[in-house]
Chain A
Amino acid sequence: MNEPLLSSIEQVVRNVERVIVGKRQVIVLSLTALLAKGHVLLEDVPGVGKTMLVRALAKSFSTELKRIQFTPDLLPSDVIGISVYNPKEQQFEYKPGPIVGHIVLADEINRTSPKTQSALLEAMEEGSVTVDGVTRQLPQPFFVMATQNPIEYEGTYPLPEAQLDRFLLKLQMGYPSHDEEIEMLNRLEKTAPLSEIGPVMSLEELLALQRKVTDVHVSDTVKGYIVELVQQSRTHEAVYLGVSPRGSVALMKAAQAYALIHGRDFVIPDDVQQLAPYVLAHRLLVRPEAKWDKLDGETIVAQLIARTPVPVRGRR
């Protein structure tokens, strides 16, 4: 689908593409999550440019990237901040943790203890942190990009499925193609592209776009299609636990942002089809035995899409 993007978004995408070669779809989807006020879970092997992507995004919005490297000994207070006694003022003072920022990279999220994970996930869900009984709003926009490594299982605390669905989208970077990798080498041969790019959109503009997302129209027809897809997931024979209603909401929100990014003020079934694998796959609990048939979340979502007829008549 080669639909032109909204021009301001196109600028951001171009800016990030100067650093990341050939990952336009991942960039667009990350921006979709950003506009939908959701968060992204990037699952891929090390070294494919996850951090680079987040840093380029942060630079494009002229904001600083906050980074939390999750380790087994990380404590919740290391994430959300801590109250420290100030003897001069004779009172406790809040020292914000790395979570307090606009764009946060939570690296290797599955390497830390569940206690610390849930601190992060609560902050993501609520948009606020509570330290010593005082609730503090996190700055807006607030966007977390978490990464996890799929092949390393030693000493990890896999995220429980209930936690996973706090992420709006789950993305994979994937390896670059042959030509893309050569292009990447060319760029990095003499310079560091990341230091060359500058901001192309202000945070205010970003906030305005986030507000515009809610104005994108979702017709009853398309809502029906979303619900149909989600309900199909609950009866699929290989699924142990289907997509929750929170999943339907997420799919709709993401579709709204996706439509806006493509310069439309209404959602079409194509948006839903494009996003469903990223929104729904990590929300499914697949039966263990289905893995023998090589069925995972992605293939099941593809089956769901193939099984659900696209509505082509309006509901009148």
Chain B
Amino acid sequence: MKQRAETMLSAVLPNGLAAWLLTEWLWPLDTVADTAHIGTFAMFVVICFLFYTLRVPTWLSALGKIGYIWWALDEWFYDEAIWDVPRALWWDGVAWLVGGGASMPDDALRTLAFFVSLWAASFVWHWLVVRRNRWFVPYALTVSYIAVLDTFFPYSGNGAIVRLVALGFFAFVWLHGERMRAKGGAAYIRKWRAAALSIPAIAVTAGYVGPKLPPQWPDPVAFIRSYAADSGEEFDTTTAAVVKKIGYGQNDSRLGGPFIADDTVVFIAKDEGRHYWRVETKDVYTGKGWESFQSEQVKSFRNGRLMEHEWWSDKVKTAEQTAEITRQDQAFHLVYPIGLQQVQTSDNIVYRMHMATEKIYTTDINANALPIQRYTITYMEPDFPIEALRSAAPVQDAIFLKRYTQLPDTLPKRVRDLAKQITEGKETVYDKVKAIEQYFHMNGYAYETTNVAVPRANQDYVDQFLFETKQGYCDNFSTSMAVLVRSLGIPARWVKGYTSGQLAEEQNGAEFYKVRNNDAHSWVEVYFEGVGWVPFEPTQGFVNPYAFSLSTSNEEQQAPSLQPEEQETPLVPLEQLIEPSSQKQDRHWWEQLASVWSWKTALTVFVALAALGGTLYVTRRKWWPRWTLFCFRCRRVDGPEWLVPAYLALLRQLHDYGLRRKEDETLRQYAIEVDRLLETNEMARLTKWYEQVIYGANSDRIDIREARQLWENLIKRTIT
């Protein structure tokens, strides 16, 4: 009975593991390609292996598989009766061939091809894994496949890796058991399997459940990309942005999760002062993130012409300034400061501002996208008068209010309550907004890029940050502020773009700023009736770059509440502000190193070290004997104390040279072999002296001068 169970197991298990390994290739396709019905394909693989396991005759299993494919194609693509499927497929194929294969073949054809390749793959897999017991190649291929997908695609291979590790252990235990059986140790297999399987099971479970260290190295992909971008290769941010992990993203409908640094320079700005760079604004908060307002309205303006967009009323004092932007990548939209007046570039470009997002696209006259590299802008640098903001009346325009105070019904009540609580006793709109902005600077909120949670399925993104996690980066802070402000009926919107970046150099009053992917940022704009959209900065460690001023008469009264912050901040270097103190304390050495060394320096040092190590390894046969020779020449000791370590070093050297001594070989037998291959008799002579030392009674009878000479000659013979 036991015997039968054992035979059954040995028939089922390898097939099961092979099927499992092959299906691991299918699951990521859902994410990285637009393949649907993964389950049906996986089922097909399982069926293939089921036929192998049951030793179904080839013709029968082929029939079964064809039937399955037939059924699937009929189910997905053809409404016709099931008998018409081959005919339909045939005509699809003919149509494709007649088309000269120019276009992608029809979906049904491609699905058929995919099924057939799965069939072939399962055949090869079965042959390798089950028949030949060769696990390594399929396993290694699968692991690399998952690793590559996890690294370069938005696919997260965490589960797959855990499963693969478990499978690897399982296969190892199984194969070892089979080998034991082959050697005749069948009696122990059971016990051994139980013991061996429990260890990986415990390890995998513990690893899965236990706490995990954050990644020990910054994401290398960002670096590789930035390197590619630096070397002048074409680099498209729009595709890069699909990887949510890095820099400025397009899709904000699902916010949350860690944010990994990326040093790629996006653009360089020659400018007159610091301000934020806008890309777009978003209005619709879904409870998980932001989506764009649906509107087709476009405002276009020509190269070098005024854009005639009213940013603020004339209550806001403005100063005209210019900036010159050089993008490091190809972009089809502008980064621009609020208050933009006109844009100038060498090409004949039409700028089209989508009013829904205020994103400005660069196109030709026919509205085809054109990339833009260098452009000069004129903009108004605002100075917001605080009294005007204070005296702003509540907004009345109902349509406007509806759009900018939109909130999902699912927003928990405690968020609205918190907004009321924060603004209690504040009379004016401005004071309320300011109170909310300031709220995040206290109350235990911390800036954090790596350990940031993703909201659970039915949890609100803002609610989670405000009440549970209290740590996050700009998206958490800005979204929370926008939602809190909106809940009070004050129109607010969410703005995405970049901070002013890092001041690289100053030339004749012009300042050059480098703006990197790391500088991607989000903040809030609040609408004040009679003034316009005013930017606010709730994120901890960041400072609103725009000026707010009191008229002289009110200055003394208002100074304490606002001025200290505004004055202190310019003195503090930006880098320090970005890294709040709470995070600094537990920075690891590699993070400190990373902050001192740029990625390139680190890579150069690494490559140099690797090259040095590689050279030393490759040339070890040349220098290591010489080094040994030098070491032992310099030894002060004499007699046996010299001979014993020297002889042992010689044994190691000969071993590395390729003359291996078997464990049961005596020194004499070995010496004869060495002498034969090196065509000498020195090893035998030296070995006699060594034997005298370690096996003899009188170790001082050796002729150390002769021994030294023999030893040196032998070492020299091993230098190639």
The chain A residues found within 8 Å of chain B, CB to CB, are 1, 217, 219, 221-222, 265-270, 273, 305-310, 312-314
Contact = CB atoms under 8 A, between A and B. Distances in A.
Nearest to B644: A314
A273 B670 CA distance: 14
Contacts of A221: 694-695
B694 A270 contact: no
The interface size bin for chain B is 10 to 19
B664 A270 contact: no
B663 interface: yes
Nearest to A216: B697
Contacts of A307: 664
B669 interface: yes
B673 to A, nearest CB: 13
B620 to A, nearest CB: 23
A310 B697 contact: no
A222 B696 CA distance: 10
B639 to A, nearest CB: 13
Contacts of A312: 648, 651, 661, 667, 694
B707 to A, nearest CB: 15
A176 to B, nearest CB: 27
Contacts of B695: 217, 219, 221-222, 266-269, 314
Contact of B664 (A1, A265, A309): A309
Nearest to A308: B664
B694 A265 contact: no
Given A266-B695, A269-B695, 20 more contacts: A1-B668, A1-B669, A217-B695, A217-B696, A217-B697, A219-B694, A219-B695, A219-B696, A219-B697, A221-B695, A265-B696, A265-B697, A268-B666, A268-B695, A270-B669, A305-B664, A307-B664, A309-B664, A312-B648, A312-B661
Given A270-B668, A270-B669, A314 B693 contact: yes
B665 interface: yes
Interface centre among B663, B664, B665, B666 (most CB of A within 10 A): B666
Contacts of A219: 694-697
Contact of A313 (B691, B692, B694): B694
Nearest to B647: A312
Contacts of A1: 668-669
Interface centre among B651, B692, B694, B695 (most CB of A within 10 A): B695
Contacts of A222: 695
B692 A270 contact: no
B667 A310 contact: yes
B122 to A, nearest CB: 42
Given A309-B663, A313-B644, A268 B691 contact: yes
Nearest to B693: A314
Contacts of B648: 312-313
Given A266-B692, A268-B691, A313-B644, A273 B697 contact: no
Interface string B25-45: 000000000000000000000
A10 to B, nearest CB: 19
B664 A310 contact: yes
A219 B651 CA distance: 21
A314 B694 contact: yes
Interface string B650-669: 01000000000101111111
Q: Ordered nearest first, which 9 A-B pairs have the shortest CB separation?
A: A217-B697, A314-B694, A266-B696, A309-B663, A270-B666, A269-B666, A219-B695, A306-B664, A268-B695
Contacts of A309: 663-664
Given A312-B651, A314-B694, A268 B668 contact: yes
Nearest to B641: A316
Interface in B80-112: none
27 contacts: A1-B669, A217-B696, A217-B697, A219-B695, A219-B696, A219-B697, A265-B696, A266-B692, A266-B695, A266-B696, A266-B697, A267-B695, A268-B695, A269-B667, A306-B664, A307-B664, A309-B663, A309-B664, A310-B663, A310-B664, A312-B648, A312-B651, A312-B694, A314-B644, A314-B693, A314-B694, A314-B695
Interface centre among A273, A305, A312 (most CB of B within 10 A): A312
Nearest to A273: B666
A1 B695 CA distance: 18
Interface string B692-705: 11111100000000
Interface in B452-511: none
B637 to A, nearest CB: 14
A219 B693 CA distance: 10
Contacts of A305: 664
Nearest to A264: B696
A253 B692 CA distance: 19
A269 B666 CA distance: 7
Nearest to A309: B663
A22 to B, nearest CB: 23
Contacts of B644: 313-314
Contacts of A266: 691-692, 695-697
Contacts of A267: 695
A274 to B, nearest CB: 10
A308 B669 CA distance: 15
Interface centre among A221, A269, A309 (most CB of B within 10 A): A269
A316 B697 CA distance: 13
A217 B694 CA distance: 11
A204 B669 CA distance: 36
A218 to B, nearest CB: 8
Contacts of A269: 666-667, 695
A270 B668 CA distance: 7
A313 B640 CA distance: 12
A314 B664 CA distance: 16
A1 B671 CA distance: 11
Nearest to B699: A314
Interface string B670-693: 000000000000000000000111
B194 to A, nearest CB: 23
A252 to B, nearest CB: 13
A194 to B, nearest CB: 36
Nearest to A218: B695
A305 to B, nearest CB: 6
Nearest to B663: A309
A314 B645 CA distance: 11
Nearest to A274: B666
Contacts of B697: 217, 219, 265-266
A312 B692 CA distance: 12
B666 A310 contact: yes
A270 B670 CA distance: 11
A313 B694 CA distance: 7
B90 to A, nearest CB: 65
A1 B664 CA distance: 16
A236 to B, nearest CB: 15
Nearest to A312: B667
